[in-house]
Amino acid sequence: MLSNINIFLDSGAFSAWSRKKEINIEEYIEFIKKNKSSLFCYANLDVIRNPEKSYENQKYMEKKGLNPIPVFHTHEDYKWLKRYLLEGYEYIALGGLAGGRNSVTFLIKHLDTCFNIINNINPTTKIHGFGIMNFLLLKRYPWYSVDSTTYRIEASYGVVFIPPIKYNEYHWLKKPIRVCFSTLAAINKSYTHYRIHYDNPKYLSEKEKEKILKYIEYIRPGTKLGNSQYIFSVPLNHSLKENERWYKKNKKLKTGTIEKIYEIGIKTSANIREEINKLYFLKVGEMLTDYHKRKKIKISNSNYFFKKQ
């Protein structure tokens, strides 16, 4: 049983569709009922590319005593969005927006249509965006909430999001700088995808590194930089010491790579990087709320970033 947390529950329909698997609606309903006290809200068990079945599931879950959020996807007839609005749903989710499956130009055209329909029928409807992390889209529309796993995925690869810093001010609503801190990435020189690695003077001057550390202290006070050493070709029968952990094992060669940690910090802990990224996006959410109010876009009090389960 989940407790003391506030969660937006996604059905996992997109992941299941991508893997050609099915989710049992009865099991999904049972899970919601079991954990209902911990859920801020939960999405309908939508069926990708089948809005009729999604609508059927919506009504079935309601008959079972639940109030799921209906989901409208890209490439579906807009009549389904209109139907949900006309039936009086106060909270609707828009899906099919993540993963680079559609161009930004397409998404703008699609979302412009969606929000025009929403504004014409019921402009006070709360709108959730699944997988939204594009700053242009975040600023363009009055989302009530959005979600993304970007903060967690990037952290696992060593990346921390840094807001552009100019004249000692953080520009939260501009595209962030992705700085890689991973020690292993520096050794393997596998950080070219990220363009910027903290330990490479080609990308960051000492002054710029100073600014980054100052920001990290601001967003998560007391955070250490961290220090570790990777040791390769270690026999698999090696007995780990307290400050060691396996990074990779090769059963064929009967050897592996261990990481010897001298200080826990950004370089050595994906959990710390994940927390910093989460705090960054929560701050972005606050700034977006203020931004939309200044633009006089009529929206409810926004709850931008949820823990996605």
Return the closest-CA partner of residue 81 out of 91, 68, 71. Answer: 71
pLDDT at 5: 57
pLDDT tens sequence across 33-42: 999 888 889 9
Q: How would you write the chain as a 3-class SS string?
A: CCCCCCEEECCCHHHHHHCCCCCCHHHHHHHHHHHHHHEEEEECCCCCCCHHHHHHHHHHHHHCCCCCECEEECCCCCHHHHHHHHCCCCEEEEECCCCCCCCHHHHHHHHHHHHHHHHHHCCCCEEEEECCCCHHHHHHCCCCEEECCHHHHHHHCCEEEECCEECCEECCCCCCEEEECCHHHHHHCCCCCCCEECCCCCCCCHHHHHHHHHHHHHHCCCCCCCEEEEEEEEECCCCCCCCEEEEEEECCCCEEEEEEEEECCCCCCHHHHHHHHHHHHHHHHHHHHHHHHHCCCCCCCCCCECEEC
Query: Which range (12-26, 151-165, 250-264, 267-281) has the least confidence?
Result: 12-26
Residue 252 has pLDDT above 60, yes or no: yes
Bridge partners, residue 197, by sequence: 180
Can you tell me the mean pLDDT for 235-256? Answer: 92
Average pLDDT, the chain: 87
CATH topology of domain 7-148: Rossmann fold (3.40.50)
Residue 264 has pLDDT above 50, yes or no: yes
Where do the structural domains in the chain lie, given as residue ranges? 7-148, 227-263
pLDDT at 123: 93
Could you tell me the pLDDT band of residue 170, with boundaries at 50, 70 and 90? Answer: very high
Could you tell me the pLDDT band of residue 300, with boundaries at 50, 70 and 90? Answer: very low
Q: What are phi and psi of 170, to 5 degrees?
A: -95, 125
Quote the CA–CA distance of 124 and 126 in Å, as a whole number.
6
Could you tell me the pLDDT band of residue 15, with boundaries at 50, 70 and 90? Answer: low
pLDDT at 292: 85
Higher pLDDT, 274 or 150: 274
pLDDT at 99: 65
Residue 3 has pLDDT above 60, yes or no: no
Residue 191 has pLDDT above 70, yes or no: no
Residue 258 has pLDDT above 60, yes or no: yes
